[in-house]
């Protein structure tokens, strides 16, 4: 689609919205519904593409296990390598973010990139994942579907030019749509996005997710039929004593889950050290999968046929025992090789096999208590997913919806919580967040950390500073210091390169040596010790680390470490102010501020959970305030009220949110978002309502 056509359709969409006078919440629900429909069809298309690749590779896509068992040995051996020859170069040259299981990339896009995902990701991810899975890669289709759906949501949101916060929600809507459509599990789709992608349970987030998930499920049921993903016998909880073995299962599943995560990343590290180009390593390493398929055809592709056999109790115990390490190795090797696919289905596979093995043991030891091992396979899936992802609610809901069996809901919930708890105690990171942590991205502390990691120094730095030429004489320098009121003075050479900085105390030391004052130039006052600087493209988190190391209140900002050109400064207080402002603006205290284009109506009053007695109110600008700046009104010091934001009507009547500056002139129709104690806010409103 050309840029002109994009602009025309974008303007047409917004003109329709304006004419219909739809509220912001209604608009986002419409957009979420569209994302859900597109995501649902995306999931259908992806699964169809996998079936096409399987048909080409092995001659069919029905019962995969039966087809693979019947294949000649040379096909079993070489098909995965052939798949590697295709996906390796594509990933290496066109999009390295399509490598692996996909979900961490979506999490990173939401946390660090404002929800922006390259549109070509959805096309490339669809193809390379379909080829990886269709040619025997022992990975799942859910991770790719999440990345594909999220990319669809991001592309659509960027096209509509929605705000950053709305874009993040649309990314999550795409993820929810993918999970809902592929599993026929609308509730699990919502919870997956909430627990893993967003980590935000706000009602303003849940409603669009639900809408998107429902629409995607409608598409999935229309195409695949309204049947559970796994058709199994109707298992029940035999008696109360059976909760004991289930508790042990949950605890052990958490340990096994951590072992799987460690093996996966250990093999990835090992593969990274092999001195070959990635597109060469991929087919070579995937040849190991061919060898494994020769002896264990169960590990070919997603493995749902094997899971169904285990859930029905049709597999002997010694094969279950062998498949635990074999499946761990197969999935880890596939991803270490550079294949593209998810870890959700392998977690289900491991959970079913481990649960089935544990159930067989319990049935042998306590036949009067444990009736069927199949029920433990069902619960084991939930526990293993919870242990690997650290998302227990998603885990038991997806298994409940996939099996349609409510009778096992108690052990499902219990084992999921226990497995997640044990896994998080042993290892802080989940299988998703560990990939990000290894890149230096820590999302464990929530949105507050992401603010520091996403905001760049260039967005906060101040260009108003006293810069001195290195050859400036002492008398001129002294006059500059006397006429200014700065903490630090920065010195540059003739090419604009940063040479160092000094403060007033350094000048006083020279003044004490009157005999030297006439000989000193600016460069001489710069301390001999290291004078640190920060690059413009560094994050605020990196900047704060440097502040803590050097114990300074200001740092000079340079263009980059190569040219060392001085372009500004940044203070510790500047970073703290940005941090506090963003926390309030993004609603981490309990209120989600609406950003971007708002309803034409003034916002209603909102309250959030704050320290005792504190509130956030929305107050209209009175006649007494109009034409004055916030600095002139001195609201903070005179009334102990903080202006968090200004809600203002734009030129077309749309409303926008402005971060208040001290010299911002208040206009008629403005709404002030203010923070303060209840009594203070009441007094503040009374004062300005009386003043004419």
Residue 563 is predicted with a pLDDT of: 81
Q: Quick: pLDDT tens for 75-89.
A: 888 999 998 899 888
138 and 262 inside one domain: no
588 pLDDT above the threshold of 70: no
- Lowest model confidence (mean pLDDT) among 167-181, 327-341, 408-422, 464-478: 464-478
d(CA 492, CA 479): 18
Whether residue 320 is found in the same domain as residue 245: yes
What was the pLDDT predicted at 447?
A: 52
Domain boundary among 224, 259, 289: 224
Residues 306 and 426 in one domain: yes
Q: At what angle do helices 164-183 and 142-160 cross, to 10 degrees?
A: 140
Q: Would you place residue 27 in the very low, low, confident or very high pLDDT band (cuts 50, 70, 90)?
A: confident
Q: How many domains does the chain have?
A: 4
- Predicted confidence at residue 422, as pLDDT, reads 95
Please check whether residues 397 and 502 belong to one and the same domain: no
Q: Please determine, for residue 460, whether its predicted confidence score (pLDDT) is greater than 90.
A: no
Task: Show the tokens assigned to 533.
Answer: 């600087």
Neighbours of 679 (CB within 10 A): 10
pLDDT value, residue 649: 67
Domain containing residue 620: CATH number:
3.30.70.1450
- Same-domain status, 323 and 356: yes
pLDDT at 333 over 90: yes
DSSP at 194: I
Over pLDDT 90: what percentage of the chain?
20
* pLDDT of 597 strictly over 60: no
Question: Does residue 454 form part of some domain?
Answer: no
- Asked if the model's pLDDT at residue 593 lies above 60, the reply is no
Q: Is residue 450 part of a domain?
A: no
Please state, in angstroms and as integers, the Cα–Cα distance from residue 163 to each residue in 103, 153, 166, 182, 576, following that order. Answer: 22, 13, 5, 29, 24
- Mean pLDDT, residues 436-451: 64
What are the residues whose beta carbons fall under 8 Å from the beta carbon of 442, sequence distance 6 or more? 436, 449, 453
Same domain, 428 and 472: no
CA distances from 395 to 234, 417, 573 (A): 19, 9, 43
Mean pLDDT of 175-192: 89
Domain boundary among 437, 457, 489: 437
Q: Is 451 part of any domain?
A: no
pLDDT at position 606 is: 42
Task: Assess whether pLDDT exceeds 80 at residue 463.
Answer: yes
Place of tokens 């444990």: 370
Sheet-wide strand order for 534-535: 534-535, 554-558, 566-571
Q: What is the pLDDT of residue 594?
A: 37
Q: Which residue has the tokens 């470490």?
A: 561
- CA R_g for the chain: 30
Strand partners, 616: 675
Report the pLDDT value the prediction gives residue 382, as an integer from 0 to 100: 93
- In this structure, are 394 and 476 located in the same domain? no
Q: Which of 437, 455, 479 finishes a domain?
A: 437
Give the model's pLDDT for residue 454: 67
Contacts of 476 (CB under 8 A, 6+ apart): none
- pLDDT value at position 119? 73
Are residues 340 and 402 located together in one domain of the fold? Answer: yes
> Going along 493-549, which residue ranges are E strands?
498-502, 534-535
Using DSSP's 3-state secondary structure scheme, residue 651 falls into coil
Which of 684 and 140 is assigned the larger pLDDT?
140
- pLDDT at residue 598 greater than cutoff 50: no
Strand partners, 643: 674
Tell me the torsion sign for CA atoms 592, 595, 599, 603: positive
Report the C-alpha gap between 681 and 437 in whole angstroms. Answer: 43
Task: Measure the CA–CA gap between 87 and 285, rounded to whole angstroms.
Answer: 13
Can you tell me the distance from the alpha carbon of 36 to that of 319, in angstroms, rounded to the nearest whole number? 40
Question: What are the DSSP calls for 617-640, one per residue?
Answer: EEEEPPTTTTT-BHHHHTHHHHH-
Q: How far apart are alpha carbons 141 and 346 in whole angstroms?
A: 10
Q: What is the mean pLDDT of the chain?
A: 80
* pLDDT higher than 70, residue 660: yes
Q: What CATH number should be reported for the domain holding residue 326?
A: 1.10.3080.10
Q: What is the dihedral of CA 87, 90, 91, 94, to 10 degrees?
A: -170
Same domain membership, residue 150 and residue 10? yes
CA distances from 597 to 21, 166, 588 (A): 13, 11, 21
DSSP H helical ranges for 273-408: 278-295, 304-311, 317-336, 344-365, 373-389, 392-403
C-alpha to C-alpha distances, 458 to 112, 540, 570, 651, nearest whole angstrom: 16, 10, 9, 29
Of these ranges, 141-145, 175-179, 204-208, the one predicted with the greatest mean pLDDT is 175-179
Which one is predicted more confidently, 202 or 602?
A: 202
pLDDT in tens, 534-547: 888 888 888 888 88
Give residue 487's pLDDT. Answer: 74
In terms of pLDDT, which residue wins out, 333 or 656?
333
CA distance 398 to 190: 10
Q: For residue 415, how many other CB atoms are within 10 A of its CB?
A: 36
Question: Are the C-beta atoms of 212 and 157 separated by less than 8 Å?
Answer: no
Q: Which residue has the higher pLDDT, 516 or 149?
A: 149
| Contacts for 369 with CB less than 8 Å, ≥ 6 apart | 238, 239, 241, 242, 245, 362
21 and 77 co-located in one domain: yes
The whole domain housing 519 covers: 465-569
- CATH classification of the domain holding 488: 3.10.580.10
* Span 405-416, average pLDDT: 87
Top pLDDT among 20 and 367 is at: 367
Whether residue 321 sits in one domain with residue 389: yes
Long-range contacts of 218-222 (CB under 8 A, 24+ apart): 218/40, 219/36, 219/37, 219/40, 219/41, 219/43, 219/44, 219/181, 220/40, 220/43, 220/44, 220/180, 220/181, 220/182, 220/184, 221/184
pLDDT the model gives residue 131 = 92
Of 330, 308, 322, which Cα lies nearest the Cα of 136? Answer: 330
For range 457-486, the mean pLDDT: 80
Given a cut of 60, whether residue 108 has pLDDT beyond it is yes
pLDDT per position as a tens digit, 368-386: 777 777 889 999 999 999 9
415 is a domain residue: yes
Structural domain includes residue 578: no
Place of tokens 């995902």: 117
156 or 527, greater pLDDT: 156
CA angle 53, 57, 58 (to 5 degrees): 115
Does 579 fall in a domain? Answer: no
The pLDDT of residue 263? 94
Please indicate, yes or no, whether residues 503 and 606 belong to a single structural domain of this protein.
no
pLDDT in tens, 118-156: 777 778 888 998 999 999 888 988 888 888 888 888 888
Label each residue of 405-445 as H, E or C. Answer: CCCCHHHHHHHHHHHHHHHHHHCCCCCCHHHHHCCCCCCCC
Q: Write the DSSP symbol of residue 569.
A: E
The pLDDT, as a whole number, for residue 59 is 85
**Could you tell me if residue 580 is inside a domain?**
no
Mean pLDDT of 98-103: 77
Residue 452 maps to a domain? no
Among residues 682, 681, 644, the alpha carbon closest in space to that of 664 is found at 644
């Amino acid at each position: 689609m050309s840029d002109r056509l994009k602009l025309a359709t974008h303007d047409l969409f917004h003109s329709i919205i304006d004419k219909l006078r739809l509220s912001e919440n209604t608009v986002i629900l419409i957009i979420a519904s569209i994302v859900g429909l597109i995501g649902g069809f995306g999931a259908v298309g992806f699964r169809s593409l996998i079936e096409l690749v399987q048909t080409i590779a092995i001659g069919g896509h029905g019962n995969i296990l039966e087809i693979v068992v019947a294949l000649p040995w040379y096909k079993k051996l070489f098909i995965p390598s052939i798949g590697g020859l295709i996906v390796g170069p594509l990933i290496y040259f066109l999009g390295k973010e399509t490598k692996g299981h996909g979900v961490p990339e979506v999490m990173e896009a939401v946390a660090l990139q404002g929800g922006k995902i390259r549109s070509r990701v959805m096309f490339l991810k669809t193809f390379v994942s379909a080829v990886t899975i269709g040619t025997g890669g022992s990975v799942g289709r859910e991770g790719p579907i999440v990345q594909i759906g999220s990319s669809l949501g991001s592309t659509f949101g960027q096209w509509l030019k929605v705000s950053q916060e709305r874009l993040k929600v649309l990314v999550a809507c795409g993820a929810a749509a993918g999970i809902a459509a592929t599993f026929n599990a609308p509730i699990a789709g919502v919870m997956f996005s909430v627990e893993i992608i967003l980590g935000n349970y706000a009602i303003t987030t849940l409603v669009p997710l639900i809408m998107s998930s429902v629409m995607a499920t409608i598409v999935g049921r229309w195409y695949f039929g309204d049947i559970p993903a796994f058709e199994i016998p109707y298992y029940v909880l035999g008696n109360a004593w059976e909760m004991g073995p289930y508790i042990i299962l949950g605890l052990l599943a958490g340990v096994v889950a951590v072992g799987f995560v460690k093996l996966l990343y250990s093999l990835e590290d090992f593969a990274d050290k092999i001195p070959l180009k990635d597109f060469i390593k991929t087919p070579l390493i995937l040849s190991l999968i061919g060898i494994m398929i020769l002896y264990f055809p169960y590990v070919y592709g997603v493995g749902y046929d094997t899971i169904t056999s285990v859930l029905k109790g049709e597999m002997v115990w010694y094969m279950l025992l062998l498949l635990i390490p074999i499946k761990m190795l197969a999935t880890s090797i596939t991803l270490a090789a550079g294949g593209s696919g998810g870890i959700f289905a392998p977690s289900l596979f491991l959970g079913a096999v481990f649960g089935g093995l544990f159930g067989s043991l319990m049935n042998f030891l306590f036949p009067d208590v444990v009736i069927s091992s199949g029920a433990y396979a069902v619960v084991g899936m939930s526990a293993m997913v919870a242990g690997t992802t650290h998302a227990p609610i998603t885990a038991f809901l997806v298994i409940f919806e996939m099996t349609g069996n409510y009778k096992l809901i108690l052990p499902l919930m219990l084992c999921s919580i226990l497995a997640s708890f044990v896994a998080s105690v042993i290892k802080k990171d989940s299988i998703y967040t560990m990939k990000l942590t290894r890149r230096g991205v820590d999302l464990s502390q929530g949105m507050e950390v992401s603010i520091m990691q996403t905001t760049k120094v260039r967005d906060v730095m101040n260009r108003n500073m006293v810069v001195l030429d290195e050859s400036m004489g002492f008398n001129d320098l002294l006059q500059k210091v006397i006429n200014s009121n700065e903490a630090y003075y920065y010195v540059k050479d003739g090419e604009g390169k940063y040479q160092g900085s000094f403060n007033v105390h350094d000048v006083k030391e020279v003044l004490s040596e009157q005999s030297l004052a006439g000989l000193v130039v600016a460069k001489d006052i710069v301390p001999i010790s290291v004078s640190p600087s920060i690059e413009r493209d560094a994050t605020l988190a990196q900047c704060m680390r440097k502040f803590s190391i050097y114990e300074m209140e200001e740092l000079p900002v340079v263009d980059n470490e190569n040219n060392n050109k001085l372009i500004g400064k940044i203070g510790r207080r500047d970073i703290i102010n940005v941090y506090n402002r963003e926390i309030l603006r993004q609603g981490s205290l309990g209120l989600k501020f609406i950003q971007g284009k708002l309803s034409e109506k003034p916002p209603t009053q909102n309250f959030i959970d704050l320290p005792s007695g504190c509130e956030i109110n929305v107050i209209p600008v009175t006649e007494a305030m109009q034409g004055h700046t916030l600095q002139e009104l001195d609201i903070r010091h005179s009334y102990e009220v903080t202006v968090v934001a200004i809600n203002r009507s734009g030129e077309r009547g749309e409303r926008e949110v402005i971060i208040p500056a001290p010299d911002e002139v208040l206009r008629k129709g403005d709404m002030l978002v203010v923070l303060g104690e209840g009594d203070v806010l009441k007094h503040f409103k009374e004062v300005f309502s009386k003043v004419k």
